[in-house]
Amino acid sequence: MRSTHSMVISMRLPAESGKRLKRMANRHGWTPSDTSARLVEEGLRRSEFGFIDFRDSPAGRQAYIQGSTLAVWEVMLLLHGYKQCVSAVAGHLKWPEAKVQAAVNYAAAFPEEINAAIAENEATNFETLKRMLPQAVEFVPKKAAKN
């Protein structure tokens, strides 16, 4: 969500909101200024794109589809698998087509963000996952029994 150009806007927050902003900034290792800019940007995106929400994830703050556990980039992976057929993905997820289309709309507006998340996912292999989750066990399917 970085922009090459910026503008300074001053605002006054209630003291409790300022404390909460600082706690969030500390939790993420951001400055309060960066945190407020991110929150404003996320709020603007929420107002401009239906069914979009933002959440913390192991990979950082990401755009998600409201009412689901799927990030926008994950919906885009499904769309790729279904040859860009919105109705097929909607059927697979048992969602209205509008939710899938919301992911398409968001991804079209912010392709660098979505493509970076997909690339990071593709770069993750079992060894990388095992470092993050030491308890992970690789699933190896048994050969199908012959009748």
Report pLDDT digits (tens) over 9-65.
Answer: 999 999 999 999 999 999 999 999 999 999 999 999 999 999 999 999 988 899 999
**Is 73:121 a contact under the CB 8 Å cutoff?**
yes
Spans of all domains in the chain: 15-48, 52-130
Q: What DSSP designation does 143 have?
A: P
**Closest to 46 in 3D by CA, of 58, 36, 38, 35:** 38
pLDDT of amino acid 48 = 97
**Confidence label for 3 from pLDDT (cuts 50, 70 and 90):** low
Q: At what angle do helices 72-81 and 111-123 cross, to 10 degrees?
A: 70
- In angstroms, rounded to a whole number, what is the distance separating the alpha carbons of residues 74 and 64? 9
Provide the pLDDT for residue 134: 92
- Label residue 133 by pLDDT band (50, 70, 90): confident
Distances in Å between the Cα of 69 and the Cα atoms of 79, 138, 144, 145 are 16, 23, 33, 36
Residue ranges of alpha helices (H) inside 1-147 are 15-28, 32-48, 72-81, 86-93, 97-109, 111-123, 126-132
pLDDT tens digit sequence for 66-114: 999 999 999 999 999 999 999 999 999 999 999 999 999 999 999 999 9
Contact between 100 and 89 under an 8 Å Cβ cutoff? The reply is: yes
> How far is Cα 109 from Cα 74, in angstroms, rounded to an integer?
16
Better-scored residue on pLDDT, 140 or 4: 140
* Helix, strand, or coil (residue 71): strand
Whole-number pLDDT of residue 2: 59
pLDDT value at position 14? 96
Q: Report pLDDT for 124.
A: 87
Spatial CA neighbour of 125 closest among 141, 143, 138: 138
Q: What distance in Å separates the CA atoms of residue 95 and residue 133, rounded to the nearest whole number?
A: 31
Q: State yes or no: pLDDT of 140 exceeds 80.
A: yes
Q: Tell me the two tokens of residue 72.
A: 């926008």
